[in-house]
Amino acid sequence: MTQNQQILLASRPQGEPSAANFRLVEVPVPALADGQVLVRHHYLSLDPYMRGRMNEGKSYAQPQPLDQVMIGGTVGEVVESRHPGFAAGDKVVGMGGWQLYSVVDAGQPGLLRKVDTTHVPLSAYLGAVGMPGVTAWVGLIKIIEPKAGETVVVSAASGAVGSAVGQLAKARGCRVVGFAGGKDKCAYAVDELGFDACIDYKAHPDLKSLSAALKEAAPDGVDGYFENVGGMILDAVMLRMNAFGRIAFCGMISGYNGEPIPMAHPQLILTQRLKLQGFIVSEHMEHWPEALKELGTLVASGKLKYRETVAQGLASAPEAFIGLLKGRNFGKQLVKLI
């Protein structure tokens, strides 16, 4: 009988998560029932939203249950199928969680999707041509609605979402400015991704310094802002927002461990007539086909670049996840499981 390794949520973090909040177990893979598919995962996606799911409090989604497999996107290969729509050898993407194998009720729509790896690598379906890429597309195209000649700013610019936001905005004729942590990440955003400028927030310890850097990088002000971080970066951008600017709130990673996230100048929402909208990409499924078509075409043709940080083996997932929350990753954080 095949053995499956799983990582469960053992306890809820108080503040920053630690390896002690997780537990690795080994269980047998159950026999398939009619309509089910067995998937061997090749890669697991680690994403900031997982930190919020670890809390018990009310949020946009149900909390991750204790002593259950941690939630997470996966790509892999069907090894056994009792569903007519899937065959052994099919490459698939789904929400298999932090484990080596998953048994999926393939008849339920949306749980498992076949993907073509002819021109797009399998791992990219967890990043640029997956949930992060679609998140970038929906926030930029449907909320910020960029126009050629406008200035778009994005925080966490070298990450899986931010890097796609910047490249999609450049393709639409915008000036693009990023925020990232460290010289290497900023150089990557400008030299490889084509950003017009990138500000190393680690080099600017206070709001005055950060604001001055943004004024230099965005001399005509900011028309659209894609928010992944919150805190002082949001304050600096707010001070540069043009009238009728749009802000898409995707993430607030500066407060994921319970830190307060005050807003220094909320009056600017009124005086600049700003539109601020939070969004969860899973609530915009109607846009996924259009987004995936554009993202897949861009990646296959080499016009959308992305970077991956890959941890090896399921046991490495907790430390890799903790590192993700501290910004240690460069681009999309994955765990290779095979």
Find how far residue 257's CA is from the centre of its chain: 17
Instruction: Let me know: does 7 contact 100? Beta carbons within 8 Å.
Output: no
| Residue pair 205/185 in contact by the 8 Å Cβ criterion | no
CB 308 within 8 A of CB 123: yes
Which domains are assigned to the chain? 3-127+306-336 (3.90.180.10), 131-282 (3.40.50.720)
The whole-angstrom distance between residue 305's C-alpha and the CA centroid of its chain comes to 15
Q: Are strands 151-154 and 112-114 parallel, antiparallel or unpaired?
A: unpaired
Q: Cβ distance 74 to 94 under 8 Å?
A: yes
d(CA 326, CA 311): 15
Considering the entire predicted model, what is its pTM?
Answer: 0.93
Listed in order, strand segments (DSSP E) in 112-207 are: 112-114, 151-154, 175-180, 197-200
Instruction: From 121, 181, 195, 186, select the one nearest 152 (Cα to Cα).
Output: 195
* pLDDT tens per residue across span 183-204: 999 999 999 999 999 999 999 9
Cα of 184 vs its chain's centroid, Å: 20
* 8, 68 Cβ separation under 8 angstroms: yes
Spatial neighbors of 289 by CB under 8 A, at least 6 apart, are none
**For residue 211, which amino acid is it?**
S
- In sequence order, the β-bridge partners of residue 22 are 9
Kindly give the confidence (pLDDT) of every residue in the chain, 338 residues in length, as a single tens digit, with 9 standing for 90 and above. Answer: 799 999 999 999 999 999 999 999 999 999 999 999 999 999 999 999 999 999 998 888 889 999 999 999 999 999 999 999 999 999 999 999 999 999 999 989 889 999 999 999 999 999 999 999 999 999 999 999 999 999 999 999 999 999 999 999 999 999 999 999 999 999 999 999 999 999 999 999 999 999 999 999 999 999 999 999 999 999 999 999 999 999 999 999 888 888 889 999 999 999 999 999 999 999 999 999 999 999 999 999 999 999 999 999 999 999 999 999 999 999 999 999 99
Tens of pLDDT, residue by residue over 45-66, are 999 999 999 999 888 888 999 9
The Cα–Cα gap between 33 and 103 comes to 9
What is the dihedral sign for C-alpha 8, 68, 159, 126?
Answer: positive
pLDDT at res. 259: 86
Mode of pairing for the β-strands spanning 74-81 and 36-45: antiparallel
Query: And the tokens for 197?
Result: 């400028």
Q: What is the rounded (10 degree) CA torsion for 24, 44, 282, 278?
A: 90
